Amino acid sequence: KGKGKGKGRKKFKGQNKAKDRRSNEDVARKALLQQLCPDVAFCGECLFFNPEQCRRGNHDVKEFLSLRPADLGDKCVVFEKIGVCPAGLNCRFGAQHVKDGVNVDKHGKPVTKETRDQYDGLILGCGIGEVNYVDDTMKQHLRKKTYDFSKAKAAVQAWNKMYKLQEAAKKEAGQEGATAPAEAPEAPAAEA
């Protein structure tokens, strides 16, 4: 019972049923075909070792531009921050950096296969102004629990002290059911 076909067959349960994923895969595949290949969108040329076999998106720029939906806004934040948009022609805020069907940098020069390498440091890894990046030594300190949290501890102690003072003041004033303080206290200046 359980392995064969028919009445006694065990039903598959859980999130990994193939029939549940098929519709999601179809939607993702259609969305992929509506966008340009990321390389074509960025530098105008597919960098896949065999562009005819590349399945990362459409490669016809003219067709894409004719079907491209209207931009969602005038300013591309990524372009303003780092000077080039890695989404290129696929960007929905591309009014600043899509000129005549070509992705351009902050100087108005088209991004090409030859000039692409100068932007890799900005796009990949830690770019200019990127704050959501943790370097490997920091990860190692956090993993091994050797990171110095003295500044954070001082800030928490200052917050708790202020909260207790506010609660005491409210009790003296006769108000029960105190809430959290409205303004955050300033953290004490910790030595670096």
What does the pLDDT look like over 5-36, one tens digit per residue? 556 666 666 666 666 677 788 888 887 778 88
Per-residue pLDDT, 114: 83
Between the alpha carbon of residue 44 and those of residues 71, 81, 102, 114, 169, the distances in Å are 20, 22, 7, 11, 66
Query: Which region among 6-15, 52-61, 64-73, 98-107 has the lowest average model confidence (pLDDT)?
Result: 6-15
Per-residue pLDDT, 117: 74
Q: What does the alpha-carbon distance between residue 75 and residue 152 come to, in Å, rounded to a whole number?
A: 36
Predicted confidence band of residue 176 (pLDDT cuts 50, 70, 90): low
Per-residue pLDDT, 152: 94
Beta bridge partners of residue 169, listed in sequence order: none
Residues with Cβ within 8 Å of residue 45, at least 6 apart in sequence: 39, 112, 113
Per-residue pLDDT, 74: 86
Q: Each residue of 115-167: pLDDT tens digit?
A: 877 776 555 545 555 567 778 888 999 999 999 999 999 999 999 999 999 99
As a whole number, mean pLDDT of residues 62-66 equals 87
Closest CA to 87 of 53, 32, 39: 39
- Phi, psi (deg, nearest 5) at residue 108: 85, 5
Per-residue pLDDT, 9: 65
The proportion of the chain whose per-residue pLDDT surpasses 70, expressed as a percent, equals 73
